[in-house]
């Protein structure tokens, strides 16, 4: 039977992620393989040697045969191998995507669970523990959270919705509509969009800093200047995309809304700075 290197690479990637290892750490477990070797395996460029296949199969609790030719991967199996810390990051991303605090996001999840007649709801405290990687959501809860960010449960459990995944999805989408861009420009755009959750955290921190009456407003001003630069850069990148003739009208609207939101955040920060100026 012919071996599909790409599929073998995906299975190796699942094993590595289930162990919570980066490529360097995983390579150390496999006879000291280099990061480059692991990358080539996972991308289907080459196969590990027979000796290394045996090691990977052993640490992945599977067989060389299954590693090479596959087995039926069920959601239950993926859940069993899921990494709580990686899942926790995705859950936090999902909450920030919806711009919710822990209480509101748990309510949102529970509404969907009730509609699906699932008995086990999620508490605010449980959600907090999940985000910290202390525990996993139930499989049903994973399915609901994955649905809230429009990804398959399999993708959610495999931890494949990070920056690289978003980059590939966005790249395919932009190429499909005929938008041609240099990789560097495209990377900047996707990175800007992926930073939304970080931006929201920073804005929340700034509001809290103001509320607490910082003893050293000079530090505050320095931090906000840095954030304003970041926001303006993001705004410029998005505006350049909107100006593209090949950008569909509905996408122009979405990007336009994002640009307007950024403008509002910049105004907010300027307002905070003006309030603090007399203290400098």
Alpha-helical segments (H) within the chain: 5-18, 23-29, 35-42, 50-59, 64-69, 75-81, 84-97, 102-115, 124-131, 139-148, 153-158, 163-176, 183-194, 196-211, 217-242, 249-276
Place of tokens 């495999």: 158
Distance of CA 218 to the CA centre of its chain: 33
Q: Is 49 strand, coil or helix?
A: coil
Cα-based angle 191, 130, 149 (whole degrees, multiple of 5): 45
pLDDT in tens, 185-197: 445 444 544 444 4
pLDDT-above-70 percentage for the chain: 53
pLDDT in tens, 203-245: 444 444 444 444 444 544 555 565 566 556 666 666 666 565 5
pLDDT in tens, 153-179: 877 887 766 544 444 444 444 444 444
Domains 5-69 and 77-158 share a fold: yes
Q: Is the pLDDT of residue 263 over 70?
A: no
Q: What pLDDT band is residue 266 in, cutting at 50, 70 and 90?
A: low
Q: Is the pLDDT of residue 103 over 80?
A: yes
Q: Which residues contact 162 (CB under 8 A, 6 or more apart)?
A: none
Q: Domain locations in the chain?
A: 5-69, 77-158, 167-276
Place of tokens 């899942």: 87
Place of tokens 């859940």: 79
| CA proximity to 141, closest of 125, 130, 132, 133 | 130
State in words which class domain 5-69 has.
mainly alpha
In CATH terms, the superfamily for domain 77-158 is: lambda repressor-like DNA-binding domains (1.10.260.40)
Q: Is the pLDDT of residue 57 over 90?
A: no
Distance of CA 92 to the CA centre of its chain: 9
Q: Which residues contact 175 (CB under 8 A, 6 or more apart)?
A: none
Task: Identify the pLDDT of residue 233.
Answer: 64
């Amino acid at each position: 039977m012919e071996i599909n290197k790409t599929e073998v690479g995906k299975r190796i990637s699942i094993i590595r992620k289930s162990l919570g290892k980066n490529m360097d750490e995983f390579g150390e477990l496999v006879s000291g393989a280099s990061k480059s070797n692991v990358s080539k395996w996972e991308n289907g460029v080459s196969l590990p040697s027979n000796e290394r296949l045996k090691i990977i199969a052993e640490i992945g609790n599977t067989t060389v045969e299954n590693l090479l030719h596959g087995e039926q991967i069920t959601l239950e199996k993926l859940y069993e191998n899921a990494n709580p810390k990686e899942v926790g990051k995705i859950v936090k991303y999902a909450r920030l995507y919806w711009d919710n605090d822990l209480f509101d996001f748990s309510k949102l999840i529970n509404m969907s669970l009730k509609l699906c007649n699932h008995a086990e709801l999620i508490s605010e405290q449980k959600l907090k523990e999940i985000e910290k990687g202390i525990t996993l959501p139930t499989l049903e809860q994973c399915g609901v959270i994955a649905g809230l960010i429009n990804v398959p449960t399999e993708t959610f459990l495999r931890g494949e919705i990070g920056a690289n995944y978003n980059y590939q999805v966005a790249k395919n989408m932009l190429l499909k509509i005929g938008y041609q861009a240099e990789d560097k420009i495209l990377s900047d755009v996707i990175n800007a969009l992926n930073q939304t959750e970080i931006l929201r955290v920073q804005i929340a921190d700034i509001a809290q800093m103001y509320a607490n009456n910082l003893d050293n407003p000079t530090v505050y001003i320095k931090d906000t200047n840095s954030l304003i630069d970041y926001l303006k850069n993001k705004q410029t990148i998005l505006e350049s995309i909107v100006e593209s003739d090949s950008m569909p009208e509905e996408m122009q609207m979405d990007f336009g809304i994002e640009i307007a939101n950024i403008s509002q955040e910049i105004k907010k920060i300027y307002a905070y700075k003006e309030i603090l100026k007399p203290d400098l």
